[in-house]
Amino acid sequence: MTESWLFLLVAKMAIAAGIVVSCSLIAERSGPLIAALIATLPISLGPVYVFLALDHDAAFMADAALGSMASTVANGCLFLVYVRRAQRHATLASLGPALLVWLAAILALHWLVPSFWTLLGLMLFVFIGAHLAVRPYLAARPAAAAERPWFAIPLRAIGVATLAGTATTASAYVGGVWSGVLAGLPIVMSSLVLILQPRIGGPAAAAVIANSVIALLGFGLAIAVVHLVAVPLGSWTALGIGLLICVVWNLGLMALARRSAP
């Protein structure tokens, strides 16, 4: 069990770092939509849930999914605040307030303890509203990319790997709901912002996050299904269904984007 835990911890750290670096490079070369679709797949969160499923029963997994739903709602608030602020402000002045909004949303949801259906309705409201609000910023492109020091991306990759490992380790000592909240920490997106905005500018970096809003809604719906089916169908079946929903949702968004492109 110790070897399994260590392997998954290292895998989580490596995958989180890898996806940040990959998405930052893809965004510079292929545009914000593709980067957003990759970043919102549960590639980073997946190892955390595998670890939880190995050590806990299906009821724990259902609770964790409920916590991740709350974290997803908070992420929608973070995305909205960041996209609007990044149009005129520097990196830290854009991301800092957005992270504070994320924390405030998590604490409010923890205090209110909404039911599953209330949380699902709130998630739909937040993401549909956020998508409508960020639509004017979806297509921004960098005018010219500034030179970056060679160590910038490796240094930030190490940072996100460290944060991912810390969140994964802490999840072993808290309950199911807070394990899900920790699994949904905006580590990848925050690190992606820290890499992209100094590199390509606020509006272009915000376009990646703006395109992530509707994509992340698919993840939120997938994790809602995991909560519903984990106990009756088992943890592994629930996680498989959740992953399938995420992949189909993002492929559908890509197909719609291609159909609407001139």
Q: Which domain holds residue 204?
A: 2-260
What are the tens digits of pLDDT across the range 111-147? Answer: 888 889 999 999 999 999 999 999 888 877 766 555 5
The per-residue pLDDT for 171 is 62
| Residue 50 confidence (pLDDT) | 76
115 dihedral zone (left: phi>0; alpha: psi -120 to 50; beta): beta
pLDDT given for residue 238 in this prediction: 93
Give the integer Cα–Cα distance in Å for 17 and 150. 16
Question: Which residues of the chain, if any, have pLDDT below 50?
Answer: 1
Six token digits for residue 42: 């549960």
Q: What tokens were used for 246?
A: 């995420």
Q: Please say whether the beta carbons of 164 and 44 come within 8 A.
A: yes
Q: 202: which 2 tokens?
A: 């606020």
- Are the C-beta atoms of 158 and 17 separated by less than 8 Å? yes
Token look-up 């909205």 returns 80
The torsion angles phi and psi of 113, rounded to 5 degrees, stand at 50, 65
Structural contact between residues 40 and 216, judged by C-beta atoms closer than 8 angstroms: yes
> Given this model, what pLDDT does residue 30 score?
67
pLDDT at 133: 92
Q: Give the pLDDT confidence of 219-228 residue by residue, as tens digits.
A: 999 999 999 9
- 51 neighbors 5 (Cβ within 8 angstroms): yes
Total structural domains within the chain: 1
pLDDT of residue 253: 86
